[in-house]
Structure 1
Amino acid sequence: MELNTLGTEISQNLIDRFKKEYTDRKESKVIERTVTKNGILNSSRDLAADVESTPVFSIDLDTGDVANQMQSGRCWMFAALNTMRHDMKNQFKVPGSFELSQSYTFFWDKFEKSNWFYENIIKTAALDTDDRKVAFLLNEPQGDGGQWDMLCAIIEKYGVVPQSAFPETYNSSKSREFDTLLNEKLRKDAITLRELVNSDASDEQIQERKQKMLSEVYRMASYSFGQPPVKFDWEYRDDSKAYHREEGITPKEFFDKYIGWDLDEYISIINAPTADKPYDQTYTVEMLGNVVNGRQVKHLNLNMHDFKQAAINQLKSGESVWFGCDVGQHSEAREKGLLDLRVFAEDELFDIDISMSKAERLDYKESLMTHAMVLTGVDLVDGKPKKWKVENSWGKKVGEKGYMVMSDEWMDEYCYQVVVQKKFLTDAQRSAQSQEPTVLKPWDPMGSLAYTD
C-alpha cells in the first residue's frame, strides 16, 4: 500500500479556471494592490470599533498602575497577583505602583513543575515514547504558562512576598533561555528515570535519583532568579504618606496578614459549549498541575449568561476578576487595546466565510485560552453588559495606560474562564461546583495554559 496515496490532484485546467474567476472580479486588482502594500490587517481595519469602545464604564474600579510581564509567559501569575494587590490597595492603602513579587512565585512554579514532570514520567515509564501521553509530556516538560488553581497551589505552599523582597531578574523578565535549558535537562532526566523504572529499580532508588535532579533544578533556578527569602523586612508609605514597617515576616505570614484570602472560596468557572462538557458540571484535566499533592485544577462549566453574571456580581462588590481568553483573536490588543469582533473584517476583504461557533473553534483547534488578565470594570446598560474594562500586564503603552476595552460580543466568543468567590454564585451553582469532577484528557482545550507575553 502506498502511504501517500490520497485523492484528486490539482490539474492545470483547474488552475486556469481559478485564474479566470479571479480576473473576472473587477475589484481583484484594487484589493491586491491594497493587501500587498499594507498587509491583511491594515487593509481590513474597521475604525467603527473605536467609536463604540470609549473607555468609560458604569462600574470602574480604581486598581492603580498596570504591571509588565516583559518577555515571559507569566500573565496568569501577574493577573492573579494583581487581583490580590488590588485588595491590598483598598485595605492598606499601598501606593498604586506597588506589586507583589511575580519572580518569587515564578521560582517556585519552575521548581514544582519539574517535580510534577518527573512524577508523571515515572508514572508513564512503561509506555512507549510515541504513546500520546508520553509524547504530550515530552513536547514541553514545563513552560511559563499556568492557570488560577496552579497559582493558588504555589501560594498555599510558599506564600507571597512584595516585589521589593524578591525583585525581577534578567531571567524572570526574559525567560526563554532558562526555559530552553531546563526543558533540555528535564528530557535528559526523563531518559534516566524511565530506564530506572524499566530496570526494576526500587522506589527508594528512583526517588533518590529524582531528588538529585531536583537539587540541580533548585541550583539552576537560584542562579537565575536568586534564592527566595525565608524571612524578610518590608516597609512602605501609604497613600497618606504614613510610614509602615514589618520586620522578620515569612512569605506565608505575609499572605495571611496582608491578603488573607481563603483561596478555597475562589473557584474557576469556564464557558466551554462543546458536546462533551454539559453545563452545570465540573471538570479537571489529567496531568494538569504543578504542585504534587497540591490544589487540583477544577472548573465549573456554566452557560455564558451565568458566566458573565458571576463576574458582574464580583465587580459590583468592588473586587476585580481574574479571567482567561484567546487574546490574539480578532483584536487589536497590542496597540489600541481593543478586544472587539469588529476591529478587522478579513472575511469581507477576501470574501470568504470563516464563521464558526465557539464550540466549533474549540473542537477544531481554532481557539483556546492563551492569556490571562483582570476585569476591573463593566459598562451596564439596562442591567446588561456592553463592554468591559480590562487590566493587562503588558505595560502602560497598550490601550489607555495599559487598560483595554473588551466588547461584550468579543467576550461571548473568546473568553473561557473567570475566577470568582463562591458567594457570587447561586445555591444551585455552588451545589454543582461541589461535585467530583469529570477527568478530561491531557490535551483537552480546557487544559490550555495562559502564557502569552
Structure 2
Amino acid sequence: MKRLILLSALCLCLPVAAQTISTSALDSIQQSFVKDDATRAIQNILTNDKNIKTKALNHSVAPMDHFFKYKTSVKGITDQLSSGRCWMFTSMNQLRPLAMQRYNVSSFDFSHNYSYFWDMLEKANLFLEDVIVTADRSFDDRAVVTYFKNPVSDGGVWNLFWNIGEKYGVVPAEIMPETEHSNNTSQMLSVLNERLRAGGYAIREQFAAGKKLDALHESKIEILKDVYRILALCLGEPPTEFIWRYIDAAGNVKTLKSTPAEFYKSVIPENYNPDTYVMIMNDPTRPYYQVYEIENYRNSIEGINWYYLNLPNDVIKVAALKSIKANEPMYASCDVGKQSNTTTGKLDMNTYDYESLFGVDMSMDKKARILTRQSGSSHAMLIVSCDTDDNDVPVKWEFENSWGAASGNKGYLSFTDKWFDEYLFRIVINRKFLDSNSVEALTGPKVKLPCWDYMF
C-alpha cells in the first residue's frame, strides 16, 4: 500500500518537474552557437539555398561502380509513376521473365491496373468488416483509430499481391491498360476514403441503434457498390475472360483466349505460395529466429497476413546470395530515401554528411532508428545482383526499381553491403535457400503484433 501511494505521488510530481527554457539555460544555448568564419560561411549558404541535401553531399565517398559478379535475368524497367504500388510492380517484375519465357515474347508486362482494381475493392471490404467487428468499441480505441485514419491505401507488400493473384488472377497489360487514376492515385484514394469513412461511421451508428449483424452486412454491400462504381469510373471494369493477341520472338502472330485465373497459373513458378516463398525481416528490436504476424496486414478477409521470420542480416545475406546465384531475384523492401543518391543510382552509408555540415551528432543504430520512427520500410524493389570480393563475401548489391529508366542507373540502384545492414528490412525468398536453423524456426508459433505496430 505504501509503495502504491509513493508511485502515485511520483506521478503527480512529474509535471512539476518539467522544465521551461529558463533565462540561464537560454543564455547557455545561445552562447554555444559560435559565429566563427566557418559557421558564418555555412549560415550564408544555407539561409540562401533551401536544398540542404546537395550541401551535405559527401564528395569524398569511396567510388562505386555498377558492375556485379552475379546477376539474375532482368527484363527491362517499369514505372509505377505517381502511385504507391511498388509492392505490386516488384511482385510482377519477379514474374515477368517467366511470362516472357512461357509465351516466347521479347517484351511483356502485366496489367497493374487490373490487380489494383481488385486490391482496392478487397481493402474496402476489409475496412468495413473491421468497422463491424470493432463497432462496440469507442472511437478512441487504438484499433478503431488506426482503421479510420487510413481506410484504404495503394501501399502493400508481397502477400497482398499473392492474395489478389490467387483470387482474381492476372492479365497482360494490353487487356486492361493503365488509366490516369491508376498512374496518379491520390485523388481517387481521397474520394474512396471519404466514402468509406462516411459508410463506416453510418455502420457504427446502426450498431449503436441496435441493428443486427445481417443489417450491418447489408449496409456494407451497399457501400461496396459505391466503391465499385468509383473504381470502375476511374480505372475501368476488369474482364472475366480475354483474348490476347501478341507477336512471339520468332515474329509469329499468336492468339490466346484465357481467363485471368488461367493466365496467372501459367506464369507463376512451381509452388508459388507463402509456404515456399518465405517472408523474412531484419528487425533488431525483436528476438531473431521468431515468426511474427501483423494483425490485419492483408487486403482481403480470406487472404494471409504479412507474417515473417526475423533473422540476423548475416544469415539473410547468405541465403540472398544463394538465390541470386540460382537466378532467382527476390522481392525486397527498404528505406530507400536514406543515404540515397538517385541521380547516380548509388546508396552508401556515407552519401550525405549532415553531421559535418551542421556540426552535430546524429548517430543512431538501426534499432534506435526503428524505435524512434526515424527509419522504416518505405519502398519495394527486386534484389537482382550481388558483387563479392575475392573470398566471395558480398560488397554491394543491386535493386531493380520501378521508377522508370530515367531514375538511378538506367532504372537500377546499387547499394553497399553496409547500407544493406542498416536500411534493408524485408525480403521474400524461396525457403530452399535458407539454412537449417532458419527453416526449423519457421515451424515455431507466431507472435501476433497489432495493426499499429511501429514497423508497419
Matched with 2:7 is: none
Aligned residues of 1:87 and 1:319 also touching (Cα < 8 A) = no
CA distance in 2 between partners of 1:36 and 1:24 (Å): 14
Matched, 1:353 2:361: yes
Q: How does 1:415-430 map to 2 (within 5 A)?
A: 415-430=424-439
CA distance in 1 between partners of 2:71 and 2:103 (Å): 20
Q: Specify whether residues 257 and 27 from structure 1 end up closer, same or farther in structure 2 by C-alpha distance, changes over 3 A only.
A: same
Match of 2:347 among 323, 339, 350: 339
Question: Unpaired runs of 5+ in structure 1?
Answer: 449-453
Quote how far apart the aligned CAs of 1:12 are.
Answer: 4.3
Partner SS state of residue 58, structure 2: coil
Matched with 1:404 is: 413
Q: Specify whether residues 195 and 324 from structure 1 end up closer, same or farther in structure 2 by C-alpha distance, changes over 3 A only.
A: same
Matched, 1:187 2:188: no
Q: How does 1:56-75 map to 2 (within 5 A)?
A: 56-75=67-86
Quote how far apart the aligned CAs of 1:195 are.
Answer: 1.8
Matched, 1:77 2:85: no
Q: Specify whether residues 91 and 59 from structure 1 end up closer, same or farther in structure 2 by C-alpha distance, changes over 3 A only.
A: farther
Aligned residues of 1:83 and 1:321 also touching (Cα < 8 A) = yes
CA distance in 2 between partners of 1:43 and 1:439 (Å): 44
Aligned residues of 1:105 and 1:154 also touching (Cα < 8 A) = yes
Aligned partner letter, 2:227: V
1:293-324 residue CA offsets vs partner (Å, 9 max, x unmatched): 22232111111011122221111111111101
Aligned residues of 2:296 and 2:305 also touching (Cα < 8 A) = no
Quote how far apart the aligned CAs of 1:4 are.
Answer: 8.4
Moved more, 177-186 or 290-299: 290-299
Q: How does 1:3-402 map to 2 (within 5 A)?
A: 7-23=18-34, 25-38=36-49, 39-49=51-61, 52-96=63-107, 98-247=108-257, 249-264=258-273, 265-274=276-285, 277-333=286-342, 335-381=343-389, 382-402=391-411
Partner SS state of residue 374, structure 1: strand
CA distance in 2 between partners of 1:6 and 1:236 (Å): 74
Aligned partner letter, 1:267: V
Q: Specify whether residues 442 and 165 from structure 1 end up closer, same or farther in structure 2 by C-alpha distance, changes over 3 A only.
A: same
Quote how far apart the aligned CAs of 1:22 are.
Answer: 2.1
Aligned residues of 2:348 and 2:416 also touching (Cα < 8 A) = yes
Partner SS state of residue 47, structure 2: helix
Q: Specify whether residues 46 and 323 from structure 1 end up closer, same or farther in structure 2 by C-alpha distance, changes over 3 A only.
A: same
Moved more, 424-433 or 64-73: 424-433
Q: Specify whether residues 35 and 18 from structure 1 end up closer, same or farther in structure 2 by C-alpha distance, changes over 3 A only.
A: same
Q: Specify whether residues 344 and 294 from structure 1 end up closer, same or farther in structure 2 by C-alpha distance, changes over 3 A only.
A: same
Aligned residues of 2:102 and 2:266 also touching (Cα < 8 A) = no
Aligned partner letter, 1:375: I
Identity %: 33
1:179-216 residue CA offsets vs partner (Å, 9 max, x unmatched): 00100011101111112223332222111111111111
Quote how far apart the aligned CAs of 1:350 are.
Answer: 1.3
Task: Give 4+ residue runs of structure 1 displaced > 6 Å after superposition.
Answer: 1-6
CA distance in 1 between partners of 2:104 and 2:319 (Å): 27
CA distance in 1 between partners of 2:305 and 2:372 (Å): 27
Partner SS state of residue 418, structure 1: strand
Q: Specify whether residues 5 and 192 from structure 1 end up closer, same or farther in structure 2 by C-alpha distance, changes over 3 A only.
A: farther
CA distance in 2 between partners of 1:347 and 1:309 (Å): 33
Question: Unpaired runs of 5+ in structure 2?
Answer: 1-11
Matched with 2:9 is: none
CA distance in 1 between partners of 2:250 and 2:384 (Å): 24
Matched with 2:4 is: none
CA distance in 1 between partners of 2:408 and 2:89 (Å): 18
Q: Specify whether residues 339 and 229 from structure 1 end up closer, same or farther in structure 2 by C-alpha distance, changes over 3 A only.
A: same
Partner SS state of residue 163, structure 1: coil
Higher relative contact order structure (alpha carbons within 8 Å, sequence separation ≥ 6): 1
CA distance in 2 between partners of 1:25 and 1:383 (Å): 49
Quote how far apart the aligned CAs of 1:13 are.
Answer: 4.3
CA distance in 1 between partners of 2:194 and 2:14 (Å): 33
1:378-404 residue CA offsets vs partner (Å, 9 max, x unmatched): 111122111111111111111121111
Quote how far apart the aligned CAs of 1:94 are.
Answer: 2.6
Q: Specify whether residues 3 and 26 from structure 1 end up closer, same or farther in structure 2 by C-alpha distance, changes over 3 A only.
A: same
Aligned partner letter, 2:265: D
Aligned partner letter, 1:59: Y
Moved more, 214-223 or 200-209: 200-209
CA distance in 2 between partners of 1:154 and 1:143 (Å): 15
Quote how far apart the aligned CAs of 1:30 are.
Answer: 1.8
Partner SS state of residue 71, structure 1: coil
CA distance in 2 between partners of 1:313 and 1:425 (Å): 9
1:224-269 residue CA offsets vs partner (Å, 9 max, x unmatched): 100001111123223443443212x001100111334422221210
**Greater gyration radius:** 2
Aligned residues of 1:362 and 1:368 also touching (Cα < 8 A) = yes
Q: TM-score, normalised by structure 2?
A: 0.92
Q: Specify whether residues 5 and 78 from structure 1 end up closer, same or farther in structure 2 by C-alpha distance, changes over 3 A only.
A: farther
Matched with 1:451 is: none
CA distance in 2 between partners of 1:90 and 1:345 (Å): 45
CA distance in 2 between partners of 1:356 and 1:385 (Å): 24
Aligned partner letter, 2:393: K
Q: Specify whether residues 21 and 401 from structure 1 end up closer, same or farther in structure 2 by C-alpha distance, changes over 3 A only.
A: same
